[in-house]
């Protein structure tokens, strides 16, 4: 099992380039099998979740050709199987996007039912409600969801909760259903828009993505396209908080600043300076003490739940008491006990964390409980006095490409290691 070993205390300074959005890419890769023609996808992040999904897509008979690390060609004409095994779903929940993609294209699909996950229970009732509204039968048997339809017909669907996954899954099915579909109370996240743009580039007719009403006119079939995925707002935000927590000065490049507004607003509130460019954002955290603030996670354009651990770790170093409320997932404070081992002072009550700022963290051995919490613990390690070892970094590798290399490019002392021996060597090297 690999670990990160970090010698904290260096302000991060320099420039970092952000990759393609993992969560957009997961849905777009699934949607790529919806045509029999070849689709070229660029700006793909080279992270574990993406590579597992590509294996799942190959597993059902699609041809996947890796052009380079960030570019792939997919041809779904040879798909022979509409059954996605539990082996994939247990590694990566988002393989459930193949449910919508396969149902839309072949009018039937079978996907192992995703269970709960580290950040809490994750129901899929809204996906099922949408599929049924479009005319599909849905059965849950032997741990899998079976869905099929004689004919898929557009419908008016109101989502009871704002959900990214259900919005995208329903959009994919509706793209190839007969007639018109209206999704109300749709998720507005940038990756919902990216998936709609991708489907439209394949000949779909989707309007309103990015608002809470999406209108879809079904088309007969989809065709080939070449498409470049949007930048990853969560990777960008993670580096922005790393700059703030280490009192550094970082230019985060290749981003869409509009997608980062909730993050930049909070960084300004806690006392960082922000410079915005067309496709870059600079975070300057030097000089002054960080101030406390309050934050509540909400669907986009609210503050993202995937950035909650990163801001909490930063607020843990700010003057005063901050309150962080998690309103999307119930189990997203697992990093708090780990951070306590580094000197953090955070009390969790229900879905609220009360954070009393401390002057500094001190290095300790901690364990990444999930993807974003793991990244947040790395931020804590980068700002801490002494050496931090982060175990279970396999979670972090699910969503961050070359995380340690990018951080080293900003002056961080961090290495990916595989044994106690290597940890010892790092200790000797950094003194
Ligand atoms: C996606 C992101 C995840 C992010 C989340 C919220 C991907 C691969 N993952 O997850 O990183 O944290 O959006 O921005 O894109 N819900 C229901 N019924 C459903 C579906 C969802 O009640 O059928 C609830 C969930 O329990 C949660 C809320 O809706 O409380 C939002 O979930 P959702 O937006 O669907 O998250 P995901 O798409 O799974």
Ligand 1 centroid to Cα of residue 161, in Å, is 9
The CATH classification number of 22-228 equals 3.65.10.10
Query: Does the Cβ of 169 fall within 6 Å of ligand 1?
Result: no
pLDDT at 256: 98
Return phi, psi of residue 136, to 5°.
-90, 150
Among 78, 117, 289, 394, the active-site one is 117
- Same topology for domains 3-19+231-430 and 22-228, yes or no? yes
pLDDT at 112: 87
Q: Whose CA is nearest to atom 7 of ligand 1?
A: 23
User: Is-catalytic flag, 117?
Assistant: yes
Question: Measured between alpha carbons, how far is residue 122 from residues 44, 224, 426 in Å?
Answer: 26, 33, 39
CA 76/CA 316 separation, integer angstroms? 48
The correct CATH number of 3-19+231-430 out of 3.30.70.890, 3.90.1150.10, 1.10.760.10, 3.65.10.10 is: 3.65.10.10
Nearest to 177 by CA among 125, 100, 82: 100
> Where do the structural domains in the chain lie, given as residue ranges?
3-19+231-430, 22-228
pLDDT at 257: 98
pLDDT at 115: 59
Query: Does the Cβ of 297 fall within 6 Å of ligand 1?
Result: no
Ligand 1 centroid to Cα of residue 416, in Å, is 30
Q: How many CA atoms lie less than 13 Å away from 272 in the CB half-sphere?
A: 30
pLDDT at 183: 98
pLDDT at 117: 63
Q: Whose CA is nearest to atom 3 of ligand 1?
A: 306
pLDDT at 331: 82
Nearest to 176 by CA among 103, 111, 226, 110: 103
pLDDT at 316: 98
Instruction: Please give the chain's pLDDT, 431 residues, in tens.
Output: 899 999 999 999 999 999 999 999 999 999 999 999 999 999 999 999 999 999 999 999 999 999 999 999 999 999 988 888 878 777 888 888 999 999 999 999 999 887 556 766 788 999 999 999 999 999 999 888 999 999 999 999 999 999 999 999 999 999 999 999 999 999 999 999 999 999 999 999 999 999 999 999 999 999 999 999 999 999 999 999 999 999 999 999 999 999 999 999 999 999 999 999 999 999 999 878 999 999 999 999 999 999 999 999 999 999 999 999 999 998 899 999 999 999 999 999 999 999 999 999 999 999 999 999 999 999 999 999 999 999 999 999 999 999 999 999 999 999 999 999 999 999 999 98
Q: Which atom of ligand 1 is nearest to the CA of 128?
A: 23
């Amino acid at each position: 099992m690999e670990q990160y070993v970090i010698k904290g205390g260096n302000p991060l300074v320099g420039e970092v380039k952000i990759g393609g959005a993992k969560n957009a890419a997961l849905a777009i890769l699934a949607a790529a099998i919806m045509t029999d023609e070849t689709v070229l996808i660029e700006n793909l992040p080279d992270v574990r979740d993406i590579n597992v999904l590509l294996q799942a897509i190959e597993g059902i008979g699609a041809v996947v050709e890796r052009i380079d690390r960030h570019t792939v060609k997919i041809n779904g004409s040879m798909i022979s199987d509409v059954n996605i095994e539990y082996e994939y779903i247990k590694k990566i929940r988002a393989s459930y996007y193949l449910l919508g993609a396969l149902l839309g294209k072949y009018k039937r699909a079978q996907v192992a039912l995703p269970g709960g996950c580290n950040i809490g229970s994750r129901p899929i009732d809204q996906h099922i409600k949408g599929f049924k509204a479009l005319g599909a039968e849905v059965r849950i048997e032997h741990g899998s969801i079976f869905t099929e339809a004689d004919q898929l017909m557009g419908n008016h669907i109101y989502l009871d909760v704002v959900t990214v996954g259900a919005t995208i899954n329903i959009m994919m099915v509706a793209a190839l259903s007969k007639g018109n579909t209206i999704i109300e109370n749709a998720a507005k996240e940038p990756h919902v828009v990216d998936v709609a743009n991708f489907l439209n580039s394949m000949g779909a007719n989707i309007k309103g993505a990015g608002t809470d009403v999406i209108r879809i006119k079904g088309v007969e079939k989809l065709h080939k396209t070449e498409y470049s995925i949007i930048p990853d707002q969560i990777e960008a935000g993670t580096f922005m908080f790393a700059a703030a927590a280490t009192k550094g000065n970082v230019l985060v490049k290749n981003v869409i600043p509009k997608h980062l507004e909730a993050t930049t607003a909070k960084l300004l509130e806690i006392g960082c300076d922000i410079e915005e460019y067309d496709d870059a954002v600079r975070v300057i955290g030097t000089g002054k003490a960080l101030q406390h603030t309050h934050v509540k996670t909400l669907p986009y354009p609210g503050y993202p739940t995937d950035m909650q651990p990163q801001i909490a770790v930063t607020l843990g170093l700010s003057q005063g008491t901050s309150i962080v409320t998690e309103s999307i997932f119930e189990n997203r404070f697992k990093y708090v006990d780990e951070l306590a081992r580094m000197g953090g002072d955070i009390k969790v009550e229900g879905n609220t964390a009360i954070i009393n700022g401390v002057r500094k963290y001190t290095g300790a051995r901690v364990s990444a409980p999930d993807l974003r919490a793991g990244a947040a613990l790395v931020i804590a390690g980068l700002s801490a006095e002494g050496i931090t070892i982060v175990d279970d970094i396999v979670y972090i590798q699910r969503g961050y490409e070359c995380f340690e290399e990018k951080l080293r490019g900003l002056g961080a002392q961090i290495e990916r290691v595989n044994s106690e021996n290597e940890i010892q060597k790092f200790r000797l090297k950094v003194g």
